[in-house]
Each structure stands twice: as C-alpha cells, then as structure tokens.
Amino acid sequence: MLGDPIELESVTYAYGDGALRREVLRDVALRVAPGEIVILTGPSGSGKTTLLTLVGALRAAQAGSLRVLGQELAGAGEGVRVSLRQRIGFIFQSHNLLGFLTARQNVAMALELDGAIEERARLARAGEMMAAVGLAEHTEKLPGQLSGGQRQRVAVARALVHAPSLVLADEPTAALDRASGGEVVRLLRDLARSRGTAILLVTHDPRILDVADRIVMMEDGRVVSGSAASVLPAGAPAGLAAPGGAPRG
Amino acid sequence: MNALTELRVLPPPGTREAPKPPGLAASTRLAVRLAWRQLRSEKARLASAIAGVMFACMLVFMQLGFRSALFESATTLIGAMRADLFLMSPMTLASFRPEPIPRARVSQALAVEGVAAAAPVYLAQSSFRNPATGTRRTIQLIGFDVEAGVLDLPGLASVREALKQPDSFAFDARSRPEFGPVTAMLAERGAFPVQIGNRDLRVVGTVELGSSFGADGNAVVSEVNFRRVVSARKASLVDLGAIRLRPGADLLATQAALRAILPPDVGVLTQAELRAHERRYWEEATPIGFIFSFGSLMGLIVGMVIVYQVLFSDIAGHLKEYATLKALGYSSGYLGRVVLGAAGILAVLGFVPGTVISSILYGVVADATFLPLNMTVERAAWVLVMIFGMCAAAGLLASRKLRDANPADMF
Ligand SMILES: Nc1ncnc2c1ncn2[C@@H]1O[C@H](COP(=O)(O)OP(=O)(O)OP(=O)(O)O)[C@@H](O)[C@H]1O
Ligand SMILES: [Mg+2]
C-alpha cells in the first residue's frame, strides 16, 4: 500500500506579498483514505477552495508537505503538477463543459491524455460512463441542449471516466436546484463507492452532508473539527453542519 | 441510479502512475481535431477568418505575379534574340534606354575565334500615331539586321522579306491596345501607312513580343529603316551587339577573348548575364520591385492581424474552457498546439480558394494588361509557405493569451 490518496501535513498558504501578504491556510493537516468520501465545509473565506486547489495541483504549494496520490507536491514543478492532474477527477461549481463538443466528446476529453486508449475505446468508455450517470440518450447532445442537472452529471462522468483514485469537487451543487443537486451528489457518491474512488468535496449545502463518510470543518484557515484521525459514521454528522451552512445556490 | 449495474464493464480505479501520453503525432492530431471542432462551431467567425486569409493570399499572389511579370517582360526581348553573347555599353542601365556603343565594336568581335556572326541591334523610343484615333503614344522601335537572323520572334519569318522594303515595319501584335487595332486593320486592307516619329512607315505584318514595363508596344524595323526614323542618331553608333558562336565554341572562353580585345567602352555579357542585368535594374534601381515586396508584406500583415484577432477572441471567449482543460491535465504546450492547429487549418482553408481565385484573376489581369501573368507551382508553394508562416505567427501571438487561463481560478 502506497499510502492514502491525500496526506497533508502542516500546510500553510498565503496570498500576496509583503504588506499585502495574507495567510489563508495555517498549519492544515488532512488525510483522506482510499475510497473515503470527505466533505470540507466552513464559513466563506475560510480557505476551503484554496486548500482544494493545492490538493488538485492547480496551484503551487508554499509550505508544508502535500502528498497527493503518492506524489509530493511541495516544490513540485509545473510538469509534475500537470501530470498529477491527469490522475484526479475535477468537478467544478459550474459544469465547465466545452460548448462546442457533444456530451460524449466532453467526457472523452478526459481520456485523450492517455496514449494507450484508442479513439474507439475512448468513445465506448465515454458512452458507458454517460449511461452510468443516466444520460445514455443524451450522448450526442451539446451542453447547451441539456438541463443544468444533466450538464453537471456530464461533468461527473468526465471526472470519473478515466478512473481516477481521487475526485475533487467544489460546491458541485451550487448552480443546481435542490432536487437535481441531491441527485448529482448521490450519483457521484455511488459511482465513487463502487469503484473505490476517494472524494474530497467542498460544500456549504447542508442537504448533501449525509453523503460523507466524514466531515471536516474549516475556520479562518484552520481545520477546527473532524481532524484527520476522527472518522464519523456516514449519515451522523448533522450537528457539524451549522456554521456558514446556508446553501448558496 | 439503475445505471450502476453497468459499472462492472468499466475499468477498475486508476493506476497510481500518470497515463502514458500519446505520441507527438497522435496528440498533435487530437489537438488539431479539437481546434477544428472549435472553429467550425462558430461559422461566422470561421468565415471571416477564412476570408482574411484568402484576401492576404490573393494580395500576395497578385503582388508576386506583377513582380515576376515585370521582370519577365523586361527580358522578353533579350530572350527573343538568338545570340549567345551581347555587347553593351557599361553605362546602360536598362535596354529600353540604352547608351550607344561604336558600331566598329560589333565588327571587331568577328575577329575572335569562335564567333560565327555579330550583328548590331538598335533600340529607341519613338512616337506612334494610332491609325484609328490619331493620338500618339511612345513605342519601342527595334532595329536589326534583317539578314543576320539575330532576332527570333513568332511571325518574323514571314515578314522578313517585306521588312527590306523602304519605310516598312512589323507591328508587335501583343502591344497594348492603345496603339489602335493595327492587326485587324492589316487583315482588312493589307499594308497601310502609320506615322512613327516624323515619318510614315507602312505596316507590312505582325510579330509577337509583348508589352513590358519599359515598353507599351514594339515596332520591328530593318537597320536602314531605323536610321530613317531616328535620323538624329549617328550612323556609327548602335545600341547592342548580338553575337552568335560557332557550334562547339566555348561560351566563357569566347567571352574572355572578346573582353581581351575590345576596349573598355563595351561590356561583354552572356544572355543570362544580360537578363540578370535587366532584372537587377527593375529590382534595385527602381522602386517597383520594392513596391511589390512591400505590397506582399502588407497583405501578409493584414492577414496576420485578422487571423490573430480571430484566434485571440476565440481564446479570450473560451478562457474558462481552456482553464478547464488545464485542470484536466492538458499542458500549456498542448493547448498551444490547439491554437497553432487552428491557425494551420485557417491557412489551408484560406489558401485553397485564394489560389483558385488568384489563378482566375491572373487570367483577367493578363488579358487587360498584356503582362505575362500566370500561376506557377513554385509561386503557389512559396505563397503557401508565407501564408503558413503568417498564420503561425498569428497563432503564436494569440497563444500568449492562454496564460490567462488559470486552472486555479476554476474552483
Ligand atoms: N486569488 C486570490 N488572491 C488573493 N486572495 C484570495 C484569492 N483567492 C482567495 N483569496 C482570499 O483567500 C481567502 C480564502 O479564500 P477561499 O476561496 O479559499 O475561501 P472559501 O473557504 O473557499 O470561501 P467560500 O466558501 O466563499 O468559497 C479569502 O479571504 C479570499 O478573499
Ligand atoms: Mg470556495
């Protein structure tokens, strides 16, 4: 066993320089086990998104140790970060699908980075993934022809099609109504579960906290509860949903 | 959620290693395909970009066409002379405005072994009265020794005898139309008098030479008749000496021998050297060559700006998409190839119709100007290279905008 998908140790991060320097992460430690679904929540401005971009190698680390999928990100260059991103699934607040590609082609984009897969296999896998998110009938539609919930499900398919060991999601339900938001997150959870994919999901939405194996609270750049060691049973964390928990969407 | 049952067919969760990236060829193909999918999704933008490239392509073709027509037409007379070596004044800048040389030099050349024949050629600008309208235009008068056979123009053989008659001339049927419908009138009523300079000469037939930037039209006359028209000219002066070699004689050795015996008031040039001399005049001593190069450059710059605009606004309008691709693990280099791929597609899509239209335009302009304009494979290849260069430069400039696509802003 190579260790957990996410192993963060005393991660500190600051925006700006000199007088403008503002520390937004302070000595953060976080560990996510294989297949574990962790929700990261906390008040606005507490540093959740910043933490997620660091874990996702979308931003260069500054201090502390960040091992993601076995790759140390402290001091890692652009090339290392780019290739690490290929092994992670991302789900954004808005779907961010490419408008000029069909839903299936969008999903296949996550596979075009793998030279071992042929075009036919790529489209077949993308099609299977589309079916898995319940969009078998919509593979050839452009994102503009789909509803918001369907688009976000396409985004889920894109995040999972290359079978990543880790999925990062930042408020994936923010742009959706209650019903489709819940549907998308549960779909994500079920698919991840069945494939042993770990998920780190940032949300303010109290209605979706029940999908988590564990909830981590952040406040002012620090993890204040649900520390890396404590594991809460799924469905039990209602009490942790309070601060800053107003739904955004 | 019933779709969950299908999950078994999907591969197990990922390997710990990053996927092996596709080879350069494969990933470039994918990048170009992505570029094409993006381009074709916005038809109006694509059309304007293609129109821009097409326009640049046509501009360059026309400029290069004119340029080479100019150079070609400037040497058609020299090319029509059946001579291996030429005697010309070293002061002559271009043959349409020659400095005369002593006639004696032409006879002196005969003394050199290897020289089979040497004949004088006379060139002068004279005025030609349009027989239909009576207006005067400048025509190039070409005088030569009818017997020596230095001049070899289509149609000349049949008028050779007639040119020996006093005050006769052959008209260049490919002169510009402003000289009047001489060919038609000749066919209608036979030989008729036309005023050249201050004399009436009878047109006895036609030859084919073609107009050039130096001469709108040509009239071919015998040596004797030339003297009658250009009476101010001293009989001891000629403009060019045309020298034919004996079969088997060495060109360069004969040239050297001629240089050795002739005084420095004449230069000895091979046919190729004389052509190069003429070309150089138009290229360097006149602004014309520069104007056409400049015109081509302007076309390329305009095309580049248009392509840049289209590619830039494509990136600026899709920053989020590009940032998403970066988040998915696409490198900046790959996305740069997408932009360059789009540039390459535009180059091809603009070049093909641009070349077709240019070929058609060449025909139209050649008919109107009597300049030798035609599409050559070599020129098309050059223009293709330039258009590709133009689009690549635009693509490289536009792809700097990719830096603004920051995947960290996506969350
Ligand atoms: N690019 C940036 N440059 C400078 N400061 C930033 C930048 N991004 C975020 N910040 C600041 O860093 C702090 C943490 O921001 P972050 O986006 O991580 O918070 P968050 O917990 O995700 O908030 P929210 O719940 O509102 O999304 C905030 O005070 C924010 O203003
Ligand atoms: Mg945030």
Q: Distance, CA B161 to ligand 2 centroid (Å)? A: 99
Residue B18 confidence (pLDDT): 63
A68, A180: one domain = yes
- Of B110, B129, B134, B132, the closest CA to residue B120 belongs to B110
- With 70 as the cut, is the pLDDT of residue A77 above it? yes
Residue B47 confidence (pLDDT): 92
A79, A172: one domain = yes
The answer to whether B345 touches B39, Cβ cutoff 8 Å, is yes
Cα angle A214, A218, A220; round to 5? 175
- pLDDT (tens digit per residue) in B285-296: 778 778 888 888
A53 alpha carbon, closest ligand? 1
Q: What is the mean pLDDT of residues B397-404?
A: 91
Of the three residues A115, A143, A163, the one that is the final residue of a domain is: A163
- How far apart (Å, rounded) are the C-alpha atoms in residues B271 and B79? 8
- With 60 as the cut, is the pLDDT of residue B2 above it? no
The answer to whether A100 touches B41, Cβ cutoff 8 Å, is yes
**Residue B3 CB-half CA count within 13 A:** 20
A172, A156: one domain = no
Q: What is the mean pLDDT of residues A66-92?
A: 88
Residue B361 confidence (pLDDT): 93
B335: three-class secondary structure by DSSP: helix
Cα end-to-end span (Å), chain A:
39
The residues facing B123 across adjacent strands are B142
Beta carbons within 8 Å of B147's beta carbon, 6+ residues apart: none
The residues facing B122 across adjacent strands are B143
Among A50, A84, A93, A98, most B C-beta atoms within 10 A, so best to mutate, is A98
- With 80 as the cut, is the pLDDT of residue B16 above it? no
A159, A179: one domain = no
Percent of chain B with pLDDT over 70: 95
Residue B37 confidence (pLDDT): 92
User: Given pLDDT bands bounded at 50, 70 and 90, which one contains residue A249?
Assistant: very low
Residue A104 confidence (pLDDT): 92
Residues in chain A closer than 8 A to B23 (CB atoms): 115
The residue segments making up the domain with residue A138 are: 93-163
- How far apart (Å, rounded) are the C-alpha atoms in residues B277 and B240? 14
Kindly list the distances between the CA atom of residue A96 and the CA atoms of B4, B79, B125, in Å, as whole numbers in the listed order.
Answer: 24, 67, 74
For residue A96 the two structure tokens come to 């961010």
> What is the domain count for chain A?
2
The answer to whether A6 touches A198, Cβ cutoff 8 Å, is yes
What's the gap in Å between the CA of A94 and the closest CA on chain B?
9
Q: Which residue has the higher pLDDT, B286 or A44?
A: A44
Q: What is the mean pLDDT of residues B112-133?
A: 90
Residue A153 confidence (pLDDT): 87
A102, A144: one domain = yes
- With 80 as the cut, is the pLDDT of residue B305 above it? yes
Between strands B101-102 and B85-88, the pairing is unpaired
Mutate to test the pocket of ligand 1, among A15, A20, A217, A220 (most ligand atoms within 8 A of CB): A15
Please, where are the H alpha helices in B138-287?
156-163, 182-189, 223-229, 251-261, 271-280
Residue B81 DSSP label = B
- pLDDT (tens digit per residue) in B139-149: 999 998 888 77
Of A154-158, B28-32, B279-283, B331-335, the range with the lowest mean pLDDT is B279-283
Nearest CA to ligand 1 atom 26: A44
A71, A114: one domain = no
The answer to whether B219 touches B142, Cβ cutoff 8 Å, is yes
Q: Which residue has the higher pLDDT, A140 or B3?
A: A140
The answer to whether B245 touches B84, Cβ cutoff 8 Å, is yes
A121, A158: one domain = yes
ipTM of the complex in this document: 0.84
What's the gap in Å between the CA of B49 and the closest CA on chain A?
18
The answer to whether B208 touches B173, Cβ cutoff 8 Å, is yes
- With 80 as the cut, is the pLDDT of residue B3 above it? no
Mean pLDDT, chain A, as a whole number?
83
A6, A79: one domain = yes
A14, A59: one domain = yes
The residues facing B127 across adjacent strands are B138
Q: What is the mean pLDDT of residues B95-124?
A: 88
For residue B335 the two structure tokens come to 């996305």
A187, A79: one domain = yes
Beta-carbon neighbours within 5 Å of ion ligand 2? A 49
- Whether A50 lines ligand 1, by a CB cut-off of 6 Å, is yes
User: Given pLDDT bands bounded at 50, 70 and 90, which one contains residue B398?
Assistant: very high
User: Given pLDDT bands bounded at 50, 70 and 90, which one contains residue B1?
Assistant: very low
Q: What is the dihedral of CA B396, B397, B399, B402, to 10 degrees?
A: 150
A16, A59: one domain = yes
- How far apart (Å, rounded) are the C-alpha atoms in residues B328 and B405? 13
- With 90 as the cut, is the pLDDT of residue B70 above it? no
Q: Distance, CA A15 to ligand 1 centroid (Å)? A: 9
- With 70 as the cut, is the pLDDT of residue B131 above it? yes
Residue B76 confidence (pLDDT): 81
Q: What is the mean pLDDT of residues B119-128?
A: 91
Residue A88 confidence (pLDDT): 92
A83, A3: one domain = yes
The answer to whether B293 touches A55, Cβ cutoff 8 Å, is no
- How far apart (Å, rounded) are the C-alpha atoms in residues B307 and A158? 32
- How far apart (Å, rounded) are the C-alpha atoms in residues A181 and A168? 16
Statement: the pTM of the whole predicted model exceeds 0.95: no
B167: left (phi over 0), alpha (psi -120 to 50) or beta: left
CB pairs under 8 A between A and B: 140
Percent of chain A with pLDDT over 70: 90
Residue B53 DSSP label = H
Residue A165 confidence (pLDDT): 87
Nearest CA to ligand 1 atom 28: A45
Beta carbons within 8 Å of B193's beta carbon, 6+ residues apart: B200, B201, B202, B203
Beta carbons within 8 Å of A98's beta carbon, 6+ residues apart: A105, A106, A109, A143, B38, B318, B321, B324, B325
Of the three residues A163, A182, A208, the one that is the final residue of a domain is: A163
- Of B172, B149, B173, the closest CA to residue B161 belongs to B149
- How far apart (Å, rounded) are the C-alpha atoms in residues A210 and A203? 12
Most confident of A186-195, B47-56, B204-213: B47-56
Most confident of A78-82, A174-178, B359-363: B359-363
Kindly determine whether residue A85 and residue B329, on different chains, have CB atoms separated by under 8 Å: yes
Residue A226 confidence (pLDDT): 64
- With 70 as the cut, is the pLDDT of residue B111 above it? yes
- pLDDT (tens digit per residue) in B71-82: 877 788 888 888
**Residue B364 CB-half CA count within 13 A:** 7
* CB-closest option in B16, B23, B410 to A96: B410
Residue B359 confidence (pLDDT): 93
B406 alpha carbon, closest ligand? 1
